[in-house]
Structure 1
Amino acid sequence: MSTQNSTRQKLIDAALKLFTSLGVTETTTKAVAELAQVNEVTLFRHFGNKQGLMLAVMEESAAFKQPGELLLIPAQGDSLGEAVAQYAIAFLQSVAQAPELLLSLIGEARHYPPQNRQALSKGINEANSYLAKYLAAAIEKSPNCGLAPEKLASMLLAALLGYSVIENTCPEQQLWRDRTEFIDDLVLLLKAETTELAINDLPASVVHEILHRAKKAQLRDYALIYVLFGSGLSKQEIASLEKTQQINESDRHLLQINSRQVPVNQWIMGKRYGSYTRNPLTGWLRSRTGEHPALFVNDAGLPMSALDIDLCWQRLTENLLTPEGRSPIIEQARQTWCVEMLSKGMTLENLSMLTGLHLSKLQPYARRVKEKLALEQAIDLDRKS
């Protein structure tokens, strides 16, 4: 090892020791230099400032090397769950080597000056980026995972950091018996997320009957069902909408959902429901008397929650059965819209952008469309016989 590398490592080891015993806030660069038996100028030459030193400790100390080294190789195993478990074990084992460092980094963060917070944020963001790359290959082996690698990495890091804090501050906690049980639960949750979605889109006759019942009920119900079948939004997304998030022009009607826009279709399962400027939704908005910004309000004039929307659906579909002999559930409205869009020629990539769903989550929809097309082809062939 060169003298330069040896000095750098001495400074990192000294900083780790002081961060662990005194905390990041109370540790000074002068104290680190003295413990490493170098002058403070040497510390600045290697790391620039205390923030650079803190990042180096996070990246290079033995406490974090094990999961870091794991990221240098592709995720092992035949499933995403195995890859997650592999990383979780390595992460928790590494943190256990110096738990006080983690507690100091996180527990004192609100007392840090802006530069230290930026350094900590940079370290977390970089760790998330590396972890996402590690998980990407494993996600390819799990086509039903609806999470992008970056989102899965964020969730995994947050869970592991949270567990580490609980484990090292609450020894009598009864949430999990040990790390093994925690990791097992983490993998079980992931399996639930990656379980293939069963697509049960509704036939046109059922869709039009629900819309007919809603029209006979009241304007709000008619508009609500129209949005469910005309835009493919979930009940949670609809509950979050405000009046300013709808854009209706002569050639389009759109709803703004966070950073994406979705169309409100005037044609639903082969039947036209008004125009872009005059339809059940615009009719409901013109009838509104209250000033509340929510797009949909209940009878008391308050924003409709996801539960309110679900109860409205149940009321309108009472005693109505699907061809399978079951009551329609509200999630089938979105499934029906997605299948209809794909059947009309929309690509999976475009549907992903409109729905916000990962491409892998849309694969079951593509198979459902192929099933329907195969059935129609079989029927046409029989007719021509």
Structure 2
Amino acid sequence: MSIQNSTRQKLIDAALKLFTSLGVTETTTKAVAELAQVNEVTLFRHFGNKQGLMLAVMEESAAFKQPGELLQIPAQEVDSLGEAVAQYAIAFLESVTQAPELLLSLIGEARHYPPQNRQALSKGINEANSSLAKYLAPAIAKSPDCGLAPEKLASMLLAALLGYFVIENTCIEQQLWSDRTEFIDNLVLLLKAETTATAINDLQPSIVHEILHRAKKARLRDYALMYVLFGAGLSQQEIASLEKSQQINDSDRHLLQINSRQVPVNQWIMGKRYGSYSRNPLTGWLRSRTDEHPALFLNDAGLPMTATDIDLRWLELTEGLLTPEGRSPIIEQAAQTWRVEMLSKGITLENLSMITGLHLKLLQPYARKVKEKLALEQAISLDRKS
């Protein structure tokens, strides 16, 4: 390292230390220069002014680093947009919470900054958003139903992460989320719902029954897993979080407790009955287990199944299947199929919102989809009568 670069780094390190301990507002360029043991003129030669120094310090912070510096796997190598979002969220929060004081100071004092400092902070956030958008772009390209541009999705994600970071590091005993994992899981669910809200692609009955048939031939656990996907409309993250104690069933009902809401597990799936409330693929899987693990689903290693484990089972069980559009079925279509079926059977949007936990706005496209299907059936029926 050259003497010039060494001096520059000393100044950045000194500023980082003072920004963290005193705050940005109270830190002077003179104090930074003295701590770095250089002349204040040297600081101005390297950074121009305090705002330039602030930008340089921000570049050292994990909150403003390029995603590639935080992650080992590029977005184009992940299987889904949800996975890309989750892995960035995990890496971001792990990095910024190793030394949270700087980011808290930057955000907390921003209202009191002079215009130049606020412009520097805005520039740093804009650059962070731009780099995050570039990271997400390949994953978005692999998700044809996503209706958000990379910059918009990046801004949603960055705002959510910064908000969570502030709450986590300033609020004592907050009850918004039980832990960071729950927050990230909910964030992924929210982003998936937002990006797929206008594209509802429910699966045909023949494809649904073929997937369930394949799962039944594979193993009891897979049969139960696909049964819950199509019979309760749950996401991978929701299923992965379930424990055996969250199952409620008798001869008159079969429910799963998801946080504060209950979701029914249907006997009938796309016109075919899969057992009863008390004897079905899920209850059969649970009766077959001899372990004492509380998780509802276990992987081959005997550990709780993760969302990734569930994704992998779906990919194997649907291999070679194609929808009428010529695409392979994706796992999100299981929940979409369940919601369309529930509305077709007569459940109201308000009640479906209560069961799914989704806002009415996100369910409106499902109502339109059901109306389209009914209109098509009516048209065909009228033609047959002609």
Match runs of 1:235-250 below 5 Å: 235-250=236-251
Equivalent-residue separation in structure 2 for 1:301 and 1:183 (angstroms): 40
- Alignment length (residue pairs): 227
Task: Please give the alpha-carbon distance, in whole angstroms, between the structure 2 residues aligned to 1:322 and 1:308.
Answer: 23
Q: Which residue number corresponds to residue 359 of structure 1?
A: 360
Paired letter, 1:345: G
Kept in 2: contact 1:219–1:283 (CA 8 A): yes
Cross-structure match for 2:297 = 296
Cα distance between partner residues in 1 of 2:365 and 2:319: 28
Residue 155 of structure 2 is aligned to residue 189 of structure 1: yes
Counterpart residue type for residue 123 of structure 2: R
User: Equivalent residues in 2 for 1:293-332 (5 A)?
Assistant: 293-332=294-333
Q: What residue in structure 1 maps to residue 205 of structure 2?
A: 204
- The 1:215–1:163 alpha-carbon spacing in structure 2 relative to 1, beyond 3 Å, is farther
Identity of aligned residues (%): 75
Give me the whole-angstrom Cα distance separating, in 2, the residues matched to 1:229 and 1:162.
48
1:384: which partner in 2? 385
Query: SS at the partner of 1:255?
Result: strand
Match of 1:177 among 100, 103, 123: 123
CA distance 1:183–1:254, change in 2 (3 Å): same
**Is the contact between residue 176 and residue 182 of structure 1 (CA under 8 Å) also seen in structure 2?**
no
Secondary structure of residue in 2 paired with 1:216: helix
C-alpha contact 2:243 2:295 (8 A) present in aligned 1: yes
Displacement of 1:210 in angstroms is 0.2
Q: Which residue pairs with 1:341 in the alignment?
A: 342
SS in 1 for 2:249: strand
For 2:153 and 2:285, how far apart are their aligned partners in 1? 45
Partner of 2:233: 232
Greater C-alpha radius of gyration: 1
Match of 1:285 in 2: 286
CA offsets 1:320-362 (integer angstroms, 9 cap, x no match) = 1111111000000000000000001100000000000000000
Hey, what's the Cα distance between the residues in 2 that align with 1:309 and 1:248? 23
SS at match of 1:224: helix
Corresponding letter in the other structure for 1:228:
L
The residue type equivalent to 2:155 in the other structure is L
Could you list the per-position Cα deviations for residues 190-214 of structure 1 after superposition, in whole angstroms to 9, with x for gaps in the alignment?
4977554310000100000000000
Q: 1:179 to 1:283 in 2, by over 3 A?
A: closer
Secondary structure of residue in 2 paired with 1:248: strand
Distance, in Å, in 1 between the alignment partners of 2:290 and 2:126 is 57
Post-superposition shift, 1:176? 6.1
CA separation in 2, counterparts of 1:246 and 1:294?
Answer: 11
Q: Does 1:369 align with 2:370?
A: yes
* 8 Å Cα contact 2:129/2:155 also seen in 1: no
Deviations 1:132-172 (A, max 9, x none): xxxxxxxxxxxxxxxxxxxxxxxxxxxx9886148699x8x
The partner residue of 1:164 within 107, 110, 117 is: 107
Distance 1:188 1:382, change over 3 A: same
- How far apart, in 1, do the equivalents of 2:224 and 2:127 lie? 47
Structure 1: 5+ residue runs without aligned partners? Answer: 1-21, 24-159
CA distance in 2, matches of 1:297, 1:166: 47
Give 5+ residue unaligned stretches, structure 2.
1-21, 24-102, 131-150, 158-190
What are the superposed Cα offsets for residues 101-133 of structure 1, whole Å, 9 maximum, x if unpaired?
Answer: xxxxxxxxxxxxxxxxxxxxxxxxxxxxxxxxx
Q: TM-score, normalised by structure 2?
A: 0.54
Distance in 2 between residues matched to 1:166 and 1:316, nearest whole Å: 53
- Secondary structure of 1:253's match? strand
C-alpha contact 2:246 2:258 (8 A) present in aligned 1:
yes
1:178-237 CA distance string (max 9 Å, x none): 466679967863497755431000010000000000000000000000000000111100
Query: 1:73-222 counterparts in 2 under 5 A?
Result: 164-165=107-108, 177-178=123-124, 189-190=155-156, 194-195=194-195, 196-222=197-223
CA distance in 1, matches of 2:204, 2:290: 36
Q: Could you tell me how far apart the structure 2 residues matched to 1:238 and 1:175 are? A: 40
Tell me which residue corresponds to 2:74.
none
CA contact (8 A) 1:343 1:369 kept: yes
Q: Is the 8 A contact 2:232 2:263 kept in 1?
A: yes
How much is the aligned-residue C-alpha RMSD, in angstroms? 3.2
Pair 1:223–1:183, CA change in 2 (3 A): closer
Contact 1:210–1:317 (Cα < 8 Å) also in 2: yes
Alignment of 1:37-76 (within 5 A): none
Does the residue aligned with 1:177 lie in a helix, a strand or coil? Answer: helix
Structure 1 segment 233-272 matched on structure 2, within 5 A: 233-272=234-273
